[in-house]
Amino acid sequence: MAISEVTVKDAELLAIDEINAAGGVLGKKIEPVIEDGASDWPTFAEKATKLIAQDRVATVFGGWTSASRKAMLPVFEKRKALLWYPVQYEGLESSPYIFYTGATTNQQIVPGLDYLKEKGKKKLFLVGSDYVFPRTANKIIKAYAAANGMQILGEEYTPLGHTEYSTLVNKVIEAKPDAVFNTLNGDSNVAFFKQLKSAGVTADQMPVMSVSVAEEEVKGIGVDNIAGQLVAWNYYQTTDTPENQKFVAAFKAKYGADKVTSDPMEAGYNAVYLWAEAVKKAGSTDVEAVKKAAAGVTLARPEGQVTIDGDNQHVYKTARIGVVQPDGQIKEVWNSGKPIKPDPYLKTYSWAGGLV
């Protein structure tokens, strides 16, 4: 399992432990079966099939990249089984057999843009890894910019795992944007921030808004390379709710005091609770019954209140913009005030009309 997938699994196991300690669901303990997708999409599909067909599990929590979800989607739809997908993603999807507990674009990308606009950043440069999420995100960003009098000075993609960013940094510097919107993935972020920093670009002159950099990644990038930069998520380890204090404490107690919590982990942790709540409501683990019961389920979670939208099976989430601190934690500097209704197809945004 790749880096972050492991910690999401850890968070989900913590939730299962907690629920079991409190008596389980419908008087039964939840028994986890763990399979490793090995960061390989077809393997995700294979393992999903195994869990459903052979292990006959009640539901599946997991998936990481968009590609892993797209690979598993037909498996769940054709076998009428349930997947809980815990990662922020590019939207434009609403499978009847998937619950999306991470943010869709209007809960992460759009608030990120709102924040930049509010701060007077009118000229943006888009940097992303070459795959579905960044390309879709950037399409949305361009539509948003066009409608809001913002200017896109450049749009650059690099192959996954790319580590040579001097040319790209040169292009960014030459374009002189007010801010950079960063959808790079994984290790590329390390190289990008290191090389941006050593080129003398600071967060004060040209902030970088990242949507795939969470607490776990900060250390690998090097705190001094990213301190002061912006990120957009729905949850930080520092988010100030009683549920989060409990979550962070429990996670550290179980996995070690040096561990951090992050948005995808929290979304995975939530997913287990949301499912358990829906099962209680339905009185059964039957997929169709759970789906029906899940609509409108509301829980107070570490990120604040979350509610399942029965129409698109996404979750109402509060958007939060944060700044990376010198200690590696992320401090919230802005939030949407209340949970945002998920809108994976951006139907309620007039500027997004031409997108789908």
Partner 1 sequence: MEGVLNQLPIGLSIGAVLLLIALGLTFTFGQMGVINMAHGEFIMAGAYTAYLLQSVGFLIALPAAFGVAGVMGLVLERLLIRHFYGRPLDTLLLTWGVSLVLQQAARDLFGAPNVQVVSPTWLRGGVGILPYNRLFIMALAVLSVVAIWAYLHRTGQGRRMRAVMQNRRLAATSGINTGRVDQVTFFIGSGLAGIAGVALTLIGPVGPTLGTYYIVDAFLVVVAGGLGQLKGAVLAALGLGLLNSYAEFWSDASLAKVIVFVAIIGFLQLRPQGLFVLRSRALS
Partner 2 sequence: MTAFQDSTVAAPAEPPARPVPAEPAPARWTRLRGPAVFTAVAVLMLVVAPLALEPFRLGLLAKYLCYAIVALGIGLTWGQGGMLTLGQGVFFGLGGYAMGMYLKLHDAGGDLPDFMVWSGVDHLPALWRPFGNPVFALAMVVVLPVAVALLLGVLVFRQRVRGAYFAILTQALAAALVILLVGQQGLTGGTNGLTNFFDFFGNDVAADGTQRGLYVLVAAVLGVLYLGARQLVRSRFGRLLLAIRDGEDRVRFLGYDPAAVKTVTFAISAGMAGIAGALFVPVVGIISPALLGVVPSLELVVGVAVGGRYALAGAVLGAVVMGYAKTYFSEELPEAWLYLQGALFILVMTLAPKGLTGLAVTLWRSVTRRRAAA
- Residues near partner 2, by CB under 8 A: 1, 34-36, 38, 40-43, 45-46, 49-50, 53-54, 65-67, 70-71, 73-75, 77-79, 90, 92-93, 130-132, 135-136, 139, 157, 159-160, 355-356
195/237 with CB nearer partner 1: 195
55/164 with CB nearer partner 1: 164
Q: What angle do CA 284, 87, 235 make, to 5 degrees?
A: 100
C-alpha neighbours within 13 Å on the C-beta side of residue 269: 25
Contacts of 339 (CB under 8 A, 6+ apart): 304, 305, 306, 307, 316, 317, 318
DSSP string, 269-288: HHHHHHHHHHHHHHTS--HH
Q: Which does 65 bind (CB under 5 to 8 A by kind): partner 1, partner 2, none?
A: partner 2
176/338 with CB nearer partner 1: 176
Alpha carbon 312 to its chain's center? 17
Tell the residue number behind the tokens 């009640």, with chain if given.
Answer: 58
Q: Could you tell me the smallest distance in angstroms from the CB atom of residue 340 to partner 2?
A: 21
Q: Could you tell me the smallest distance in angstroms from the CB atom of residue 246 to partner 1?
A: 25
Applying the rule CB under 8 A, the residues between 180 and 219 that interact with partner 1 are 187, 190-191, 194-195, 198-200, 216-217, 219
CA-based end-to-end distance of the chain: 34
User: What letter would DSSP give residue 32?
Assistant: -
Alpha carbon distance 171, 165 (integer Å): 10
Q: Could you tell me the smallest distance in angstroms from the CB atom of residue 7 to partner 1?
A: 9
220 near partner 1, rule: CB under 8 A: yes
Q: Which does 167 bind (CB under 5 to 8 A by kind): partner 1, partner 2, none?
A: partner 1
Q: Could you tell me the smallest distance in angstroms from the CB atom of residue 54 to partner 2?
A: 5
